[in-house]
Structure 1
Amino acid sequence: MWRVVLVEDEIFVREEIRDAVQWEQEDFVVIGEASNGVEAMKLIEEQEPDLVITDIRMPFMNGIELLQAVREGGRKIRFVMLTCMNEFEYVRQALVGGASDYILKLSMSEDDMHRILQKIRRELEEEQVFQLEKASETCKYWLQAGWKQLLEEAEGPLSTLGGRGFHPVWQRYFSTVTVCVLLQDLEEVECRVRNKLMENKTSRWLISSFTRLGIVTILIWSDQKADWISEVAASCQFHRTLWLDDSTDLNQDLVKAWKEGIQCLEQDWYSPSTASFPSCNRLHIAKISWEEESEILRAFEQFRSADCLRIVKRVWNAMENEGFSVPSVKATALRLNEAFARISQQEPQDIDKLISSPKHAELLNILNETLQKYLTSSHRINRIRSDHPEINRLLDYIYHHYNQNITLKEMAALTHMDEQYLSGLFKKKIGESPIRFVQSVRVKQAEFYLRQTNLTVSEIGKKVGFANDNYFFRIFKRWTGVTPNDFRNK
């Protein structure tokens, strides 16, 4: 309901207004009364009403001064002025100052109050729609920034989340927010929540949802603490309800609950025998070492299916023993899946199945099945090798990461060599510089996609590691003598 403060120095007039209106039927509730502008200002600061019905002539601070003080404070509270027949100059000032309407005290009727309250309610509902749309966009940004900061090691304190805080609309329209974190289908949960909201006729509510790596986060904003919210949330692996009051720091408290929820998923993700995991300040996406990843990919390249499966299982067991977070495990599975697809020159398969997997062991089984699919339908390009172990290590890295931004500095660090020395050694062993070799691998992969897929030329360029279309066209033509479009049309 919309919140009202009555301000009138004559008690009998105040009582007459309070008793003449069926406030609940009008969707309003009187939350406080004051006898002058000074008392009213204190009440407004404490209660944040939606509507103030105030007399104009009052001691200490009159209605016009009260309206001006509220506007100067940045509040967009609706005002209705109570006036006598000879106060129209005051009424004019009030309307110019932003009052919504006025009531003549001597001729005030129930119909007049009904008409004015319905007008104010429509204005408030229109404002609410606008503010909630803004709030929804703010929350989407917050969830994206929060995920990045919690899991991708973004800089800065967690409380700022990208330097953009919550709009004050949250505490104005809502009294609670319930944080739900789960490994489940987002649409199914959202549908269940919305149905419950409609059934319970909750007057104000908003659902903010976010999903990454199969982890669903839902924020249920409501203007009341309802049992049904707890019932719905109980079906999630984690839920926590926060009260929105003056003691609530939305950024800090939501981050804390969200982080706890993601950590809680590990209890269901791993086997029951797994030891509890230490709490950490942030939930970084840990990675398996390049040596482990390289061992898996070498076995895959050489069609050593049994070895590949054995190494993957060993890595999976190690992640469980070391307490990798659920996002870390899923990111590892997706990265390996992308590498298998790239090596076998195929489109990535089973991405949705990998993302939606609810268990550590199940994800391993899906990845193994996908690995076998790649091996049985693999298209390979000839891989160049040398007689130098560090150069071969670098070749493996290039074949597996050609779609990323690979610099000479990065390659030198990988082989523990000076950049100039590495360039000379690589050219001596392979016949061309490291950078040109990276270009040649990208062009060969682009040729495959141009022949075998319906991807656009722009999509192919990005897929094989070229930063923009112009650069892709220039390098492709330098190596093949034709543009990508001409190559496809031949």
Structure 2
Amino acid sequence: MRFVIVEDEIWIREGIRKLLPKLDEENVIVGEAENGVEGVEVVRKENPDVIITDVRMPVMDGLEMLEEIYAEGCKAKSIVLSAYSEFEYARSALRLGVTEYLLKPIVMADFSEAVERVKFELEKERKRHPKQIGSLDQVMKNILAGDFLPEEEVTEYLIKEFGLDGQLSLALFVSYFEEWSDKKCDRFIRKIKMIFSEKPSISYCVIEDEKQKEIIIIIYNYAKNQNIKRWIQGHFLQKSNDLDGVAMGWAESPNIFNLKDNYEEVEQYLEWNILLGSEVIISCPEIQRVQTSLCVYPLDIENQMKTAVCSNDPQKIKKSVEQFQKYFQNGKIYEPKRIKECYVRFFWAMINFSKEIGNFNFEHFEQRELLDRITHTKTREGMKRITIELVERLQRTEEQIENLNVKRAVAMIHEFYRTGITLDEIAAKLGITPEYLGTQFHQVLGVNFSAYLKQFRLNKAKELLLGTQLKLYEIAELIGYSDSKYFSKVFKAETGYLPADYRKIYK
């Protein structure tokens, strides 16, 4: 909302100026004045939504100012402040149609409630009187959001101001951008204008919605026998090389009364871009007629992924993920929601499996954030970006150790863990005492030497259990345990499962 503050006490003006943006970041102070005469001039110039004024001021008081500007046709709401609680002031304010009357000193809670009530009144009026909003794109944006009801007054206004008959057909062309940028959107709108310049008889308006990451084109005043969608698709898609990450939807509305419902329908089907790609403008009636196939989760590809993760082979991991992506581009038609469900399941398996064997770095990784991103993306490019980001995380990360003795000790553990290397042996090779090395090891890594060695061996055991067909005694020998029964005991104490049971559960 746009505010003008008329108050002769500067400290009160400053307090209100600081408070309004805190109540709502969209609150803007467009002018200030110290008395009613100055206030009249500021209001005439700025045409605010709300006037906040004191009653008692020099030259002209607040009520006299309101009486003058309301006589001129000003529609602004007003909040009157007064240190005088006499009945006559309140009665005069009510007679003028003042929206809110507050006594000084101002109580913050009361002031906040008064501003909210004024906002509510303005929104109600705007639904009834669209002319207060202004341009066609603003009116249409409010109709799509449900803030305007296309009642008789609205349709009359649209006919009179823009030649848009409420009973004529309209078309909606909605473009969603996975990555929103002003440069990309400006280029997109220039292309639209160039296409429509070929048919000047057709009218349209452009709505930019950065919050929704959408550009909405509303097309009207065209003949019913004109195939507008085919015309746009023929010009737009064939000549565009930058549509990756853009989902485009289309719907035709019999009249402006159905526009909001048609827009919601387009929104619902935009995610079909995940299956069809950016080469298609998605049309609601066409999608509704599509016969979809049963989407069966590719468990065999998940198992390939687990094997690749166990082997810590980036190329194998990448290959298994690519196979998973290609699975949904096999010529069959699946519902996008089912595809998303499969992606979530596959990524969950990849993350949890990687965490389980302890090889990969998922520090500060929010699985809930991943789920939200998959749920909300509407493009094939969006799914691809999420996948690439996740695969990049699936890289083994060596501990960043600055202490040279500890760094060399860790390197020796990784090289000689199969031989049952001890703290004493490593300390001797480094030329320091075992006590000194043990103290440094714990200080740097937060665990003692034996706990680190045991965990490293068990992580190796998990890799071998899930990534190979080796027998238990062979795995025990490979990780430095000569007694397979003792290995099983240690493994169960750490994981809660015997090695054979662990293999059955996770493989």
Query: TM-score, length-normalised on structure 1?
Result: 0.34
Larger Rg: 2
